[in-house]
Copies of this chain bind each other. A is one copy, B any other.
Amino acid sequence: MAAKKKRSGHPEVLTRKKGKRPVILVTNDDGITAPGLRSLVDIMSTIGEVVVVAPDSPQSGMGHAITIESPLRLDKVEVHGEVLGYQCSGTPVDCVKLAVNKILHRKPDLCVSGINHGSNSSINVIYSGTMSAAMEGAIEGIPSIGFSLNNYSMEASFKASQHFAKQIATRILEHGLPVNTLLNVNIPNLPLSKIKGIKICRQALARWEEEFDERTDPRGRKYFWLTGKFINYDKGDDTDEWALSNGYVSAVPVSFDFTAHHASQFLNKIKWDA
């Protein structure tokens, strides 16, 4: 991995040394047995040496959780063919940390996460274990991409997703990604022939209006299931939600610098000890 020198006005870019077949770390949040992971492993195997480190059970909605209150297990498993596979008892973020530190003993050339069963566009990036794994990759200085298909079903077809995952991974291996940046790629649930192409977007401002499904257990105690309604209140035609609704693959560059720079002036005017 070599960091290109930053030229004024241009972001510093992480690119890999040309030559050998790239090493590609594959992870996800739906767990090691998910069909979406298998699809990603298959397609990544056509462009590089794949190593899989994925959770041993589903970890959807885990956000950027890490495991610090209990120890982690890591077991070698059969994936298929030449692919080196491990399952981990922890979260998607733990998987990336263990992969770099205990399995590869180096940074892979690319970290890809998914293909998630369900969209991680707009606000979902925050709750998503898939995207948090990719973010952890970026924090470690690895060009990283999360892929998600806008279909929650375990029987979804990943054909179109595989096509775009290969295209995007190949280009990122060639061009690199600006430092401290990862990519959030969402694929509309359409056949390949109906998808219009890839659009670079911004994260739509949207949220889940939660509803709690309130029930009573056999012992008479109340419990709640979290559910909700997705509300997109962003009317822009440059958002990931717009792209997906209009037949495009959305690719949003994501930063792990969360500073809201635009708010600093407002805050600096406040007299705190008035």
Q: Residues of A with Cβ closer than 8 Å to B?
A: 10-11, 13, 58, 60-69, 71-74, 90, 93-94, 97-98, 100-102, 123, 125-127, 132, 135, 139-140, 167-168, 171, 175, 177-178, 180-181, 183, 197-198, 200, 202-203, 205, 207, 210-212, 214-215, 221-226, 251-264, 266-268, 270-274
**A224 neighbours in B (Cβ, 8 Å):** 71-74, 98, 102
A10 to B272, CA, bound (A): 20
| CB-based contact B64/A63 at 8 Å | yes
In the assembled complex, how far is the CB of residue A259 from the closest CB belonging to chain B, in whole angstroms?
4
A46 to B273, CA, bound (A): 17
In the assembled complex, how far is the CB of residue A153 from the closest CB belonging to chain B, in whole angstroms?
16
Q: Assuming A175-B270, A253-B267, A262-B178, is B58 touching A69 (CB within 8 A)?
A: yes
**A251 neighbours in B (Cβ, 8 Å):** 267
Interface CB pairs A-B, < 8 A, 15: A60-B69, A64-B127, A73-B221, A73-B224, A98-B224, A126-B258, A140-B207, A178-B260, A180-B205, A197-B272, A202-B261, A253-B261, A253-B263, A254-B260, A255-B259
Interface of A, helix, strand, loop or mixed by DSSP? mixed
A102 to B210, CA, bound (A): 10
Partner of A167, one of B71, B139, B273: B273
| CB-based contact A253/B257 at 8 Å | no
**A258 neighbours in B (Cβ, 8 Å):** 125-126, 203, 254-256, 258
**A211 neighbours in B (Cβ, 8 Å):** 101
| CB-based contact B71/A223 at 8 Å | yes
* 9 more A-B residue pairs beyond the given contacts A178-B263, A203-B257, with a C-beta to C-beta distance below 8 A: A10-B266, A64-B127, A67-B226, A73-B221, A98-B224, A101-B210, A167-B273, A251-B267, A253-B259
The 9 closest A-B pairs by CB, nearest first: A63-B64, A253-B263, A255-B260, A63-B63, A253-B260, A71-B223, A202-B259, A63-B65, A72-B224
**A202 neighbours in B (Cβ, 8 Å):** 257, 259, 261, 264
A134 to B74, CA, bound (A): 33
A123 to B66, CA, bound (A): 13
In the assembled complex, how far is the CB of residue A172 from the closest CB belonging to chain B, in whole angstroms?
8
**A100 neighbours in B (Cβ, 8 Å):** 210
**A259 neighbours in B (Cβ, 8 Å):** 202-203, 252-255
Q: Which of A167, A177, A183, A226 has the most CB of B within 10 A?
A: A226
A13 to B263, CA, bound (A): 10
